[in-house]
Chain A
């Protein structure tokens, strides 16, 4: 049995609207039920995605199918978005008490329904974006994602740091939108097309004056640089990551980044024959690697540390993009999803009891051996210890780069990995070697315990047996 492609997005949208309506009409119910219902619904959609037949479209099509494709890359990233949203919703259930304190309303649970509904709408945006092959579609779905994130980032509005993060994110994201739109305008002006495949066809004509299109592409690259947090467009990342509610930070660092890379992989295709483009991307990748890893060294706040680490990982992913290694990028993104969300999940639970500084994690091995071990796995994978998904991800990326003779990138990459070992293991040292004044065990709900275990198993299994991910794109 096969189903048509846009059904998945419609289903997720219906789930989101359903959650919103229940929130509006039934004020008295326990809002966490909504989150469980949403998780269940998204899991059902995820299962349904395996019955989807890939249907790549050709250049000649018009109408809906010139905007939308259901090729393997699209389906892969749709599943990616669904898994991310499910894991973030699990985290949000744990985070609910904090939201309750910092949003005032008529009932003690007001605001929670929207807190659970917005990630679902973000997920719809991510799924449309995975399939978008037209600049109009890319723009609209990217804005759907960004707009939901505006609200999510400043959601706990009684907390001044959150509001500040929200305003910063708002201004800089809107700026990047401006660049994106103006860039698309110029590409359209030269080619007269908004469909990516047709843009490629027009640009392949050597008689065409491609300067203005290249200018437009640079503007689009700036906009995407904001989304994936590449240097020098990374300045919003540390502040926004630190100020936003923790599950939203996790969502931002995985969802927003993956979305940026999908669009990057698709949008760059018409421009890859131009050598200037590859050179510019190489320089951006180098800067991102160096900045992310070096600035992470002195951090004492774990959320900020993870923010810089997310910049650093954008650098490794860019190496993959420059080396035309779509599969390596996809695998790295999956590994990144697992290890980042696992560390944020532990962070949410621990921060409920103490705080989100690294010293709040000291002695965690005694207070909760399970959480400490989960964090150990996440950190080891982020650093790139062998037999974890993080190691294999870096291995594939460097392998692809060596095949393209990008030696500089590989050398800098390996050096920065060593840097990464230092600051990731700082967290591990705090958990296992430092003592703590608090002895009270950290309570972990059964749902998060199950999800964390699943993520740990996935990290180790994918680190040894990566074929399922690599085959998904063939």
Chain B
């Protein structure tokens, strides 16, 4: 009866042994080198690092990037529009006017951003 459990015990023993030996080996053999001043300098003619690792950048960058993404993405609506334009313009001018009104609203947004100085890099 107890005999049936021997393979299981053996298995557990091997598992524990393997884990311990693997950890021991990595401690004994895998020596992580000590950090020294010389080691931390750039390799051969690499650049000497300047400033902090996480430089702060101007919030202006964020503003311009966001405005770019917003106006850039609106192009998505113009592709399907351009595909069906030739067929639909024959039926009515509505397809032209709807895109014009869309672009007008976009333009107003752009003028607003411009007037508020969102694209003024120096300010």
A-side interface residues toward B, CB under 8 Å? 13, 17, 20-21, 24-25
Residue contact A17 to B105, C-beta cutoff 8 Å: yes
Cβ–Cβ < 8 Å partners of A20 in chain B: 108, 112
Q: How many residues of B contact A (CB 8 A)?
A: 6
Cβ–Cβ < 8 Å partners of A13 in chain B: 105
Cβ–Cβ < 8 Å partners of A24 in chain B: 111-112, 115-116
Q: Mark B93-115, 1 if CB is under 8 A from A, else 0.
A: 00000000000010010011001
Closest residue of chain B to A63 (Cβ to Cβ) is B94
Residue contact B115 to A25, C-beta cutoff 8 Å: yes
A21–B112 alpha-carbon span in the complex (Å): 7
A13–B105 alpha-carbon span in the complex (Å): 10
Cβ–Cβ < 8 Å partners of B112 in chain A: 20-21, 24
B-side interface residues toward A, CB under 8 Å? 105, 108, 111-112, 115-116
A24–B116 alpha-carbon span in the complex (Å): 6
Cβ–Cβ < 8 Å partners of B108 in chain A: 17, 20-21
Closest residue of chain B to A18 (Cβ to Cβ) is B108
Cβ–Cβ < 8 Å partners of B111 in chain A: 21, 24
Choose among B105, B111, B112, B116 the residue with the greatest number of A CB atoms under 10 Å from its CB.
Answer: B112
A25–B115 alpha-carbon span in the complex (Å): 7
Closest residue of chain A to B114 (Cβ to Cβ) is A24
**Which A-B residue pairs are the 10 nearest by beta carbons?**
A24-B115, A24-B112, A17-B108, A20-B112, A24-B116, A25-B115, A21-B108, A24-B111, A20-B108, A21-B112
Cβ–Cβ < 8 Å partners of A21 in chain B: 108, 111-112
Closest residue of chain B to A20 (Cβ to Cβ) is B112
A21–B108 alpha-carbon span in the complex (Å): 8
**Distance (whole angstroms) from the CB of A36 to the closest CB of chain B:** 21
Q: 11 A-B contacts, Cβ less than 8 Å apart?
A: A13-B105, A17-B108, A20-B108, A21-B108, A21-B111, A21-B112, A24-B111, A24-B112, A24-B115, A24-B116, A25-B115
**Distance (whole angstroms) from the CB of A44 to the closest CB of chain B:** 21
A21–B113 alpha-carbon span in the complex (Å): 10
Cβ–Cβ < 8 Å partners of A25 in chain B: 115
Closest residue of chain B to A25 (Cβ to Cβ) is B115
A21–B105 alpha-carbon span in the complex (Å): 11
**Distance (whole angstroms) from the CB of B74 to the closest CB of chain A:** 14
Closest residue of chain A to B105 (Cβ to Cβ) is A17
A422–B108 alpha-carbon span in the complex (Å): 51
Closest residue of chain A to B113 (Cβ to Cβ) is A24
A25–B112 alpha-carbon span in the complex (Å): 9
A25–B105 alpha-carbon span in the complex (Å): 17
Closest residue of chain A to B116 (Cβ to Cβ) is A24
**Distance (whole angstroms) from the CB of B109 to the closest CB of chain A:** 9
A24–B115 alpha-carbon span in the complex (Å): 6
Cβ–Cβ < 8 Å partners of B116 in chain A: 24
A24–B107 alpha-carbon span in the complex (Å): 14
A17–B109 alpha-carbon span in the complex (Å): 9
**Distance (whole angstroms) from the CB of A185 to the closest CB of chain B:** 19
A24–B105 alpha-carbon span in the complex (Å): 15
Closest residue of chain B to A106 (Cβ to Cβ) is B117
**Distance (whole angstroms) from the CB of B87 to the closest CB of chain A:** 13
A42–B106 alpha-carbon span in the complex (Å): 23
**Distance (whole angstroms) from the CB of A399 to the closest CB of chain B:** 46
Closest residue of chain B to A13 (Cβ to Cβ) is B105
Given contacts A17-B108, A24-B111, 8 further A-B contacts (CB under 8 A): A13-B105, A17-B105, A20-B112, A21-B108, A21-B112, A24-B115, A24-B116, A25-B115
A217–B100 alpha-carbon span in the complex (Å): 36
A13–B101 alpha-carbon span in the complex (Å): 12
A102–B43 alpha-carbon span in the complex (Å): 52
**Distance (whole angstroms) from the CB of A206 to the closest CB of chain B:** 36
A17–B105 alpha-carbon span in the complex (Å): 8
**Distance (whole angstroms) from the CB of B83 to the closest CB of chain A:** 16
**Distance (whole angstroms) from the CB of A123 to the closest CB of chain B:** 16
**Distance (whole angstroms) from the CB of B69 to the closest CB of chain A:** 15
**Distance (whole angstroms) from the CB of A34 to the closest CB of chain B:** 14
A24–B113 alpha-carbon span in the complex (Å): 9
Cβ–Cβ < 8 Å partners of A17 in chain B: 105, 108
Closest residue of chain A to B108 (Cβ to Cβ) is A17
A17–B112 alpha-carbon span in the complex (Å): 10
Cβ–Cβ < 8 Å partners of B115 in chain A: 24-25
